[in-house]
Amino acid sequence: MNQYDLIVIGSGPAGRRAAIQAAKLDKQVLVVERGRRVGGVSVHTGTIPSKTLRETALNLTGWRERGFYGRGYRVKQEISIDDLRRRLLITLDHEVDVLEHQFSRNRVHQIRGSAKFVDAKTIEIEKDDGEVLHAKGGSILLAVGTKPYRPDNIPFDGESIIDSDELLEIKKLPRSMVVIGAGVIGIEYATIFSALDTTVTVVEGRDTMLDFIDKEIVDDFSYQLRDRNMKLIFGQTIDSIEKEVSGKCRVTLANGRVLNAEMVLYAAGRSGATETLNLEAIGLVPDKRGRIKVDPETFQTDIPGIYAAGDIVGFPALASTSMEQGRIAARHAVNAPAREPPQYFPYGIYAVPEISTCGMSEEEVTQRGIPYECGIAHFRETSRGHIMGLDTGMLKMIFSLKTHRLLGVHIVGEGATELVHIGQAVLNLKGTVEYFVENTFNFPTLAEAYKIAGLDAWNRMGELEEEKAAE
């Protein structure tokens, strides 16, 4: 039986980063992956496919040019599912190639198969051809991710009543769609399909959506969606979904309202992929959504030598944070502890339009009783915005009145997921409003919105107490 310093189960962002980190420290590493190709949900059904689909949709529809040429402007009149898939396949091939090469040049050993525990140091791997292998690990990292939550009362058929993993296999672009769940997945796909001219209705069980985002940003975002005729129904759950003889789907809401659509996307959360791991063999008990509890500093579970990272440990369940968790877990597992991560990480929602946020929302600052001031800039006030034909998009910053420190940055609009990193750097380096007031920004850029929002807040804030005292 082969012996490794670290065995990683799963090759998504958490597993991949963990494996490379341990290999860089000259450790013997095995990655076991049951999927046909390495990369996990991130590469095959999640992050990369959805973002590629978004980019293709925006390019082929000419979405970004409509500020100048009108809502009727199209780059390609008839967009087919093949148009969308072509770019997807090329992107995914590149991603897998890069990953395979990283593994091979760092001498990470890989086995394709499904892993389960024999005991806390031994796993059994069943390969696709039925062969069964065993391997021992000094430490074992669970980076098995999640799969879509599929309740029994939803008649999934893989064609017109689908989950988000099946969306990439659809045969034709639907003319109408009901999206169930206004979480990040539901909202990203709903807005991408709306940009492709599908008539979209979103049904959300709660009275609000995206509650972890600053409310003013969500209000602006919701206004933009409704302005282009997307229907957002809150506070409603599904009573039934049926497929009619015509092939259409009939969605009946709990209040009796009926929605008809060519396609239903069920995106009401995901659950941890733990059920085939035989966790009973090591006495590890996941919660009812299949998630595993870990020490937030080391990512070690309650069982010494067994680590878990990525979506399997729950919020924030992002590719970006999963990678970092995997790296920290691997370092700890091979006795090379990592420094604690900085306090704030960014969250990017690749809807149309994008949203990105880092730090505290206005609601959070209010709840904590911190005296604050906000600064706002609209992209239409920037020269770059004029050049790009933007009439929407805003950046909001929140500053402490007492220390002048930046507490949160929130953006909706073009480039939000890139722009947020300026705010993230200032936040984690504990910068103040003066950073934005005193620094020169490239012109014309959308980043100039930071300057405008900084000045907007500063004009109302007055001088820092200590500066007043120094005068």
- How many residues bind to ligand NAD according to rule CB under 6 A? 24
Q: Segment contacting ligand FAD (CB under 6 A): 12-20, 299-307, 353-361, 448-456?
A: 12-20
Q: How far apart are CA 456 and CA 376, in angstroms?
A: 6
Q: Please report whether residue 140 would count as binding ligand NAD according to CB under 6 A.
A: no
If contact means CB under 5 to 8 A according to the sort of partner, which of ligand FAD, ligand NAD, none does residue 95 touch? Answer: none
Q: What DSSP designation does 113 have? A: S
Q: State in angstroms the smallest separation of the CB of 230 from ligand NAD.
A: 16
Q: Segment contacting ligand NAD (CB under 6 A): 85-93, 180-188, 285-293, 380-388?
A: 180-188
Angle at 35 between CA 2 and CA 15, to 5 degrees: 60
Element (H, E) at 54: helix 47-61
Q: How far apart are CA 281 and CA 278, in angstroms?
A: 6
Q: State in angstroms the smallest separation of the CB of 179 from ligand FAD.
A: 12
Tokens for 346?
């960014």
If contact means CB under 5 to 8 A according to the sort of partner, which of ligand NAD, ligand FAD, none does residue 310 touch? Answer: ligand FAD
What's at 62, amino acid-wise?
G
Task: Give whichever of 5 and 204 is closer to ligand NAD, judged by the CB atom.
Answer: 204
Q: Segment contacting ligand NAD (CB under 6 A): 286-294, 326-334, 343-351, 394-402?
A: 343-351
Q: Please report whether residue 356 would count as binding ligand FAD according to CB under 6 A.
A: no
Q: Please report whether residue 33 would count as binding ligand FAD according to CB under 6 A.
A: yes
Element (H, E) at 4: strand 2-9
Q: Sheet containing 176-180: which strands, arranged edge to edge?
A: 161-163, 263-266, 176-180, 199-203, 231-233
Q: Please report whether residue 238 would count as binding ligand NAD according to CB under 6 A.
A: yes
Report 157-186 residues binding ligand FAD (CB under 6 A). 164, 185
Q: Please report whether residue 265 would count as binding ligand FAD according to CB under 6 A.
A: no
- How many residues bind to ligand FAD according to rule CB under 6 A? 38
Q: Please report whether residue 104 would count as binding ligand NAD according to CB under 6 A.
A: no
Q: Fill in the per-residue mask, 194 to 223: x = in contact with ligand NAD (CB under 6 A), - = not in contact.
A: ---------xxxx-----------------
Q: How far apart are CA 53 and CA 90, in angstroms?
A: 12
Q: Please report whether residue 183 would count as binding ligand NAD according to CB under 6 A.
A: yes
| Identified binder of ligand NAD from the candidate list 43, 349, 409, 426, rule CB under 6 A | 349
Exposed/middle/buried for 279, CB within 10 Å: 0-12, 13-18, 19+? buried
Q: Please report whether residue 350 would count as binding ligand NAD according to CB under 6 A.
A: yes
Report 199-258 residues binding ligand FAD (CB under 6 A). none
Q: How far apart are CA 400 and CA 423, in angstroms?
A: 14
Query: For the chain, how big is the Rg over CA atoms in Å?
Result: 24
Region for 369 from its dihedrals, namely left if φ exceeds 0, alpha if ψ lies in -120 to 50, beta otherwise:
left
Angle at 224 between CA 221 and CA 226, to 5 degrees: 110
Q: Which residues contribute to the site for ligand NAD (CB under 6 A)?
A: 180-186, 188, 203-206, 237-238, 267-270, 316-318, 348-350
